[in-house]
Structures are given as structure tokens and as C-alpha cells.
Amino acid sequence: MTISKRSLMKAGLAAAWLPLFTRQGFAGDWTTIEAEARGQTVYFNAWAGSETINAYIAWVGQQVKARYAITLEHVKVSDTTEVVRRVRDEVKVGTAKGSADLVWINGENFRAMKADRLLFGPFASDLPNFKYVDVEGKPTTLFDFAESTEGLESPWGMAQLTFFGDGTKISDPPKSMEGLVAFAAANAGRVSYPAPPDFHGTTFVKQALLETIDDQGLLQMSAIKDIFVGESGPMFALLDRLHPHLWREGKQFPQSQAQVKQMLADGELLMALTFNPNEPANLVASGELPATTIAWQHADGTIGNTHFVAIPINSQAAAAAQVVANFLLSPEAQGRKADLKTWGDPTVLAMDKLSGDEAKFFSGGDVAGSVADPAPAIPEPHGSWVPLIEAAWLERYGA
Amino acid sequence: MMQSLRRLCGVLPLGVFWLLPFAVGVVAVGLAGFDGMAWVALFLHPQFWPALALSIVTGSLSLVISTLLAFWIVAGLHGSTRLADFMGSFLSLPHLAFAIGFGFLIMPSGVFARIIGLLAGWSETPQWVTTQDPYGISLTAALVLKEVPFIVWLIAALLARTDIGEMLAKQFRVGQSLGHGGASIWLRIFIPQILPRLKWPLIVVWVYGASVVDMALAIGPTQPPTLAVIIWSDLNNVDQAINARGSVGALFLTAALGVIATLFQFVTSVSSIATRRFLVAGPSLSRAPRKPAFALLALFAAIYALVLGVLLIMSVGSQWPYPNLMPAQIRWAAWSQLVDSPAPLLTSLTFICCCVATALSLSVIWFETFTDRLDRYLLGLAVAALAIPSLLIADGQYLAFLQLGLNGTWFGVFLSTLTPVFAYVFIVMRGPYRAFDPRYRSVSLGLNASAFRFWAAVKLPLMKPVLAAAAAVGVGVSIAQYVPVQLVASGRLATLTTEAVTLSSGGNRPLLAVFSLMLAFVPLAAFLIAARLGK
């Protein structure tokens, strides 16, 4: 197909109008949105593998019902890619009545939805509570896997790769990938990680890539296959050395982080990994792991990111979805979420932006299972590296 | 005129609720097959060939082993009339619930390892390669344990038919007179006659084993997984091109199974000359293995009891690390969660009630408006609905329902669940319903009763056991649906089965156990009620 200059110009003119149209639905002030939201039902598509998270979302449902007369339905999702697929299929056949109103999302799924224009917005920076967000101290609240959010998703919580195990069995936890190889060699069959494309498994491999690559800066740019092939050599060399010492000699892998965690609790594995630094403490508090549990991060830092909520473009309740997103950013909801007794998901807010009363929602303090020496968070590689990493991993270790 | 109008009424609801959804599903996925890139991508998938081999091997091996064991049990216990009833109670436990409980038994930190560890003094879990082993042995074992009761039940049902039962009883006496022992009679006379009659049910069992998704996710191998699991994750991927690869993968798996079945048919017909030499040999005095058969049955009963037992303990034990034989503390949290948020249970129950009621009505309407000459066409379609992997039909229905806006709706999920439920209900009902003695009708009409009054006052009460048995089967089939519900419900509706699969990848184990127990309890209750009504 040839593209004439004229049609390009037409497209450009149309594109110039686009922001006006897309912003129309929420250009009005916040009280209008709140009024419109009353009585709407929000189908919140959120990963539901954890009881504490489900309980927290149920609490949010009670709150938005009482405060804004919004009904929140938690659509329990085991893999967010299902939601992306569904929305894309709905939009493709022109279903105006979308099945999802709010999606818990980040990374590759966000990139796919953004690229395919499946998202409503920009709306995030217009949320009244967005002013509390720590955009300076936590730059990943604006850059999701090096992809600019452009206000199409609202930050919800923070994550950083963290490892944990029983302190009575691990005296000297490995603080680097190299250290992990030695640790696995000394404890054959007692270490593993979930197989990519499981999110945690991919993150583990990315951490290995970050620790072995010469120039970490390369990973912040869009991936190029030749560069990946050239630069991933040391990473695969490391994994090749690690795998023979893993559970089932690295020929089989657990399917999910939850399974790794369960295997730690059962005593099959010595350590597990998580993206929530507070999860180990949370598991101690809920009685699933013993009080002797310790958590650690690699000394030079581990991958960290932000997770978000986004609104699909065909949402039937975009107003209510924004009200819910705003409530999720409130100091009260963020404080409760960060509380180890409920969920323990780190906040996206800046403590110094909160008033004294607002800060009271956060009750800090060291408890059993919290990370001993927090290490810096390294921003996620650009999302375009993920398919390359996953394909290469599968090719090498999948069969 | 009246006749054709009546027939239209008979076939119209069937067409809308069952034929059409089934047909559009097959057509839609067939159209998705015209995607050259997707085929290329499928064959380039690094796990494609090993995964295909795993699927075929687990499906075939489980079929062969379970058929052998089933005949062993039936031959050994020939004459025990309660066998079918006894097996039926095993049957009602859904595959997924069984696989989850069985996994808890055999995994390295499972009950067996703890008991052995206690005796042997292990301080750490053994490094067994049990659940999710690379060769699919645990998947095969779980399939065998689940299929043997089904095949035994099939054989027992066949033997219970008066025509076949009497014929075989006579042949048994002839065989004995000629000096053949029980084992010889079974091998040389009974099995060669029974097997061909079980051809289609066995094909359904085989296809199920080779294409099952939920069980393979819970207990199957992971690197590579079975082809069905690869197809399933492709269908759920963000990338459209990978979705297309999933659709052609489902087509390929179906075609591969079709080719293998045809080849097998050919091989058996060619080899019949060789088997004939065995068939005419003898006589052999060896008896049917009564004691080993009984022991085998007891082993099955013990494993099923252990599965249920471990699920019960798991449902109330929050912290239960190796090597403790019992959980440190008993908590009812998971059960109270079921009570507090009963949505998955209620959704499952609603689908069960509606699907089973519709399937029974459609079957009865068919039987009452069409003569049995046309039965074989519908029977053929019903068998096809079961012999085609549900992965393929459900993917097609998802693609078609997308155009119709039915995905994510209650009605859409209802239709896709009804596809297998009606097929089973119709197949189960057809024999006994058609065997109804026509003289009742003549007498009733002679007494000037209307056709409807005859049906409602005379036939329905007499048919109650048949309807109850078919309904019980329908409940079991309906509650166990995973692939169609997960695809078509688009996350809007969660059932016990979809929740159990989500939980089986990790997370809340007590809740997983509670859902598995409910999965077991509902069909069992239906079966017990049906057995009571049947008396």
C-alpha cells in the first residue's frame, strides 16, 4: 500500500482533534464524575491468587458502596493477559458494552493495551488524589517498564524483587545471582524459580540479565534482537551453571510464584521469591510461615516497578472506575493496603506530601519477616525485552 | 401436516439450544484454520513435538491401562450385581477434584512422603519426581484412577442389559461345557464382543485424556507441558497471532487424534487374523481372577477415600509443613469463606440446574416427537460433541460468540456448557427410554386418555429412574466444565471448577480443598438422590 502525502495530512488533522474527543468524557470537574458514578457497577478485573488481596478488594468494595454508591465486582483473574485479550476481541467486533471497567495491570499487558489503543484516558493525573503520588522519588509511577504511562493508568502499589526463606535453615542468604549459584550448589534440589512466561519467573531471568549485562542502560531502550542475542550470553552462561543445582535439576520448574511459596511452606524448597517486599512479613503475620522467616534483596539492587489500574476504552462505567481509582490512591486506602495485617503492599504515595492526619493511616515498624537491608530498586527493562527473553528461555530450557 | 408441525416443535428447541451452538463453534474454529502464519508458528513452537507426544502418550497409555484394569475387575467380580452402583459413586468425583487430592497424596511433601519419612526418619522432603513429572506419569496415573470406574460402569451397564446379559449367560454355559475357565471365556468370548460395542465411549475417554486441560494444569508435566496446555495458554495470550496459533493447535490436535484413531482401526482389522489364532485356541481352565480383582477394587476404594480424607484435612489446616502428619492448627476460615462469598457455588448450581433441566427436556421432546429411526443421526452428533476435544469446540464457540456478543453473558456460558451436557444426557437416556413397552401406550389410549395425559400420568412416573440417572450424569458433566466456562464467561462468571483451577496454581490451599470437596459433593449428592429415586 502506498500512502499519499494528502492522506497523511488528513490523518494528521484527524489526530489533532483526537485529544478533544477522548478527553470529552471527563473534562468536566470531579463532582460531575462523582455524580455520574453513583449507581454504576465497576467490574474490577484483578489477579486473585491471594486471599489477603481479595479481602482488601472486598473492603474497597464496601467503602465505595458506602461513600459513592458504587458497586464493585471483583472479577477474579488468574492471568491479566486474559483480560487484555478479551478487551481487544470486544473492541475488534465493536462491542460497546465492555466486560471490564477497571484492570489491575502493568508491564507487557499495559504496553499491549496502550499500543492497541484499548485504554480510556488520559485520566490518572486528573484524579484529585494523584497529588500525593511520589512521582519524584518513585519514577516508576510514571514509567511502566520504561514505557511512559501518559496518564492511561493510575499507580496503585510498589513492587521490588525480594527473596525469603527460613532463617534457621539459611544462615547467610545469597545477595547476588553469583551467590545464588553457589547457594544452590550447596543445597542441591532445594532452590527453584517459576518458569517464564510466569511473571515472577520472567522477572528472575531479567534480574539475571541485569546482573550480567555490561551496560544496564541498553535495557531502558526498545529491544533489538541482535543486541539481545549478543548481550544475553553471560546471562545464559550463568543460568546454565545454576540450573543443574535446581529443583529437579532445572528440567522442570514450578508454574507460579504461589507454587514456589507453597513449596517453601511445605518444606520442599529452601527459598522463595516475591515482588512484594512485605509479603514475607505478611505471611508470618497470617501464620503461613514461621516467625523465623527472613527476607533479603541482592546487594546491588533488584528489579522494582509499580503496578497500576487502568480503564478499558469500552468500559460501561468509566466515571465510577475513575472514582474507584481515586479512592485507591487515598491515604486511607493506601495506608490500609500497606498494613502488614491486611495486604502489606508498599504505597505509591510520598509520605512528605501527607498531612499529619493523613500519615496516621500508615503504621510502620520492623516486624518478623521484613527485609533486613533494603537495596535500591532498579527500574524494569523496557517491556519489549520480555518477548525476547521469554522466547529464548523457552527455546533453551523448555524442552 | 400435524406430523411435520410436531416434528418442527421437536427439533426447533434442540436446534437453537444445542445443534446451532455446536455447529457454529466447529465452523468458527474451522475458519480460524485458514491462517497460514499460525500454522507456521505452531510447527516452529520449540515444545510442539514433545508436547504432542506427551498428549498422545498420556491419553493412550491411560486408556489402555484403564481398559485392562476395568476388564480385570469386571471379569473377576462377574456376577456381583452391586458393582455398577458401587462404581457409580466413584464416578461422581470430578476429574479435577480427584487430581488435586491425588496430587496432595503423591507430591514430595505429600501424605505418602510424610508417612514413609516418619518411618524412615527423613528430616527433609524426599526429592521425588512425582506430581508434574516430565513424562506425565502422575497425569496418566490420575487419569487411570479416574477412568477405570467409568469403564467398569460402562461394561456393567452393558452386561445389565437383558438382551446382552442373557446372551452372554448362555455363551458362558456353552464355554464351560467345552472346558473353558472363566478367564478363557472372558478373553475369547466376552471381550471380543464387548469391546466393539464400547468403541465410541472408549474413544471419548481417549480424546479426553489426550486433550484435558484442567487436570493437566493441576498435575501434568510443565516443561514441556501437554499440547492441550500449550494450546490453552496460547488461547489466553495477549498477542492475537498467538491466539490464532492456539486455534490451529486445537485443530491439529483434533486431526492428529482422528488420524491415529483411523490408523488404529485399520491395524486392528488387519491384525484380526493374528488374534483369531488366539481366539480359537484352548480350552484353558484358568479362572477369572476373583481375589486380585477384589484387591484391585479395594485399592481403588482406598485411594478414593484417601483423596477425600486429605482434602478434608487440607480444608481446615492452615499451617501444615513437612513432616507433620496433621496440621498445626485447625481453622475453619476457608469454609466460612465459602459461606460468606458463595457466588462460585451458586453459579455452578444455577448452571447445573438449567443445563440438566434443558438437556432432559430436549431429550424427552426428541424422543416423543421422533421415532427411533432418526436416533442414530442425533446419537452420531452427540458422540461427535464428546469425541471432538472440548478445547476445539469451546474455542470455536468463543470466536463465534464474540460476533454475537454472547461472551461474558450467562446465556453464552449456558449454551457452551449445554453442548457436552446434552450429549451425555441424550446418550444415557436413549436406550432405556426407547425400551419403554409400547403396550402401556396402547392400553392408555384405549382407555381414552390423551397422548399428553398418558405421558404425564403413566410414562413419566415409570421413566423416573431413567430421568434421574441421566440427570445425575448431567450434574457431573455440568459441574466439571472448565474450558468452555473459562473462555466464554470472560471472567464475568466464576464456577467452582474455574476457581479451583485458579487456586491450584498456588495460593490458598484450604480454599482449594474446600472447592474440590464441593466439586465432589454436588455430583455425589445428585447420584445418591438418583439412586434413591431409581429404587
Q: How much is the ipTM here?
A: 0.79
CA distance from start to end of chain B: 41
The per-residue pLDDT for B19 is 94
| Of B238, B322, B402, Cβ closest to residue A81 | B238
Are B510 and B258 a contacting pair, CB within 8 Å?
A: no
Interface touch B321/A90, C-beta < 8 Å: no
CB B251 within 8 A of CB B42: no
In the prediction, which pLDDT does B1 show? 62
**Could you give the number of structural domains in chain B?**
2
Q: Are residues B399 and B415 in the same domain?
A: yes
> Could you tell me if B326 and B447 lie in one domain?
no
**C-alpha–C-alpha distance, residues B192 and B185, integer Å:** 10
pLDDT level of residue A82 (50, 70, 90 thresholds) = confident
Number of CB pairs < 8 Å for A and B? 140
Q: What is the pLDDT of residue A366?
A: 65
Pairing of strands A162-166, A293-296: antiparallel
- Helices B290-316 and B95-106: crossing angle, nearest 10°? 90
Same domain, yes or no, for B292 and B386? no
Kindly state the cell numbers that stand for B391: 478445547
Element (H, E) at A252: none
Range B111-150 burial, b when 16+ CB lie within 10 A, else e: bbbbeebeeeeeebbbebbbbbbbebbbbbbbbbbbbbbb
Which DSSP letter does residue B507 get?
S
Q: Does domain A28-158+306-359 have CATH number 3.40.50.150?
A: no
Residue A149 predicted with pLDDT over 80? yes
pLDDT in tens, A175-221: 999 999 999 999 999 999 999 988 899 999 999 999 999 988 898 88
Query: Is residue B300 in some structural domain?
Result: yes
Q: B491 vs A51: CB contact, 8 Å cut-off?
A: no
Closest CA relative to residue A335, chosen from A131, A132, A125, A68: A132
**Using an 8 Å Cβ cutoff, are A181 and A239 in contact?**
no
What are the residues facing A308 on neighbouring strands? A105, A155
pLDDT-based confidence at A15, cuts 50/70/90?
very low
Torsion of CA B11, B12, B14, B19, to 10 degrees: 100
* Domain covering A162-304+374-397, topology: D-Maltodextrin-Binding Protein; domain 2 (3.40.190)
Q: Which residues of chain B are within 8 Å of residue A48 when distances are taken between CB atoms? A: 502
Q: How confident is the model at residue A30 (pLDDT cuts 50, 70, 90)?
A: very high
Specify whether B344 is located in the same domain as B320. no
**Same structural domain, B511 and B365:** yes
Q: Is residue B42 part of a domain?
A: no
Query: Which domain-ending residue is among B276, B297, B331?
Result: B331
Q: Which residue's entry shows cell 491468587?
A: A49
- Based on the fold, state whether residues B371 and B520 are members of the same structural domain: yes
B477 within a domain of the structure (yes/no): yes
Q: What is the 3-state secondary structure (H, E, C) of B98-111?
A: HHHHHHHHHCCCCH
Picking from B331, B352, B375, the residue at the C-terminal end of a domain is B331
Using the 3D structure, point to which of B331, B356, B374 is the last residue of a domain: B331
For residues A303 and A203, is the Cβ–Cβ distance under 8 A? yes
Confirm if A146 and A383 have CB atoms less than 8 A apart. yes
Interval A229-244: pLDDT, tens: 999 999 999 999 999 9
Residue B75 pLDDT more than 70?
Answer: yes
pLDDT surpassing 50 at residue A24: no
| Distance to chain B for A157, nearest Cα, Å | 20
Domain-located, residue B324: yes
One domain for residues B339 and B219: no
Question: Do residue B366 and residue B456 come from a single domain?
Answer: yes
The whole-number pLDDT of residue B81 equals 64
**Interchain CB distance below 8 Å, B319 and A288:** yes
Q: Which positions in chain A touch B408 (Cβ < 8 Å)?
A: 86, 99
C-alpha cell at A155: 499507580
Best residue in A268, A286, A386 for a mutation probing chain B (most B CBs within 10 Å): A268
* A148 CA: distance to closest CA in chain B (Å): 20
The answer to whether residue B50 sits within a structural domain is: no
Q: Residues B135-141: what's their mean pLDDT?
A: 93
**Res. B437 pLDDT band, cuts 50 70 90:** confident
Distance separating alpha carbons of residues B481 and B416, to the nearest angstrom:
9
Q: What does pTM read for this prediction?
A: 0.83
Q: What confidence tier does A364 reach under pLDDT thresholds 50, 70, 90?
A: low
pLDDT at B518 over 90: yes
**Which structural domain range is residue B181 located in?**
58-331
The answer to whether residue B304 is domain-embedded is yes
Decide if A397 and B403 are in contact by the 8 Å CB cutoff. Answer: no
Residue B429 scores a pLDDT above 70: yes
Contact call for B319 and A265, based on CB within 8 A = yes
Q: What is the DSSP string of B300-330?
A: HHHHHHHHHHHHHHHHHBS---TT-SS-SSB
Least confident range from A54-63, A329-338, B284-293, B322-331: namely B284-293
Q: What is the pLDDT of residue A21?
A: 43
Residues 6+ apart with CB under 8 A from A232: A209, A213, A389, A392
Check the CA dihedral B389-B391-B392-B393 and report its sign. Answer: positive
Residue type, B59: G
Listed ranges B81-90, B168-177, B211-220; the one with the highest mean pLDDT: B211-220
Average pLDDT, chain B: 89
Q: Which residues of B touch A268 (CB under 8 A)?
A: 107-109, 125, 322
Residues of B in contact with A85 (CB under 8 A): 236-238, 243
What amino acid is encoded at A384 in this protein? S
Q: What percent of chain B has pLDDT over 90?
A: 47
pLDDT of A96 > 80? The answer is: no
Q: What is the mean pLDDT of residues B350-378?
A: 92
CATH 3.40.190.10 in chain A, residues? 28-158+306-359, 162-304+374-397
Q: CATH number for the domain including B312?
A: 1.10.3720.10
The alpha carbon of residue A27 is apart from the nearest alpha carbon of chain B, in Å, by: 30
Range from A31-35, A320-324, B265-269 carrying the lowest mean pLDDT: B265-269
**Cell numbers placing A131:** 497529588
Domain identity same for B318 and B347: no
End-to-end CA distance of chain A: 41
Which chain A residue has the Cα nearest residue B329? A287
Same domain, yes or no, for B18 and B99? no
If asked whether residues B10 and B85 sit together in one domain, one would say no
A 10 A CB-CB count for B174 gives 11
Q: With 0-12 CB in 10 A as exposed, 13-18 as middle and 19+ as buried, what is B33?
A: middle
- The answer to whether residues B446 and B341 belong to one domain is yes
Question: Considering CB atoms only, which of A86, A265, A266 is closest to B491?
Answer: A86
Calculate how close chain B gets to A242, using CA atoms only, in Å: 17
Considering only CB atoms, which chain A residues are within 8 Å of B222?
195, 252-255
According to the model, what pLDDT value does residue A107 have?
87
Provide the edge-to-edge strand list for the sheet that holds A162-166. Answer: A271-274, A162-166, A293-296
- Stretch (H or E) spanning A88: helix A81-92
Using CB atoms, pick whichever of B124, B223, B240 lies closest to residue A399.
Answer: B223
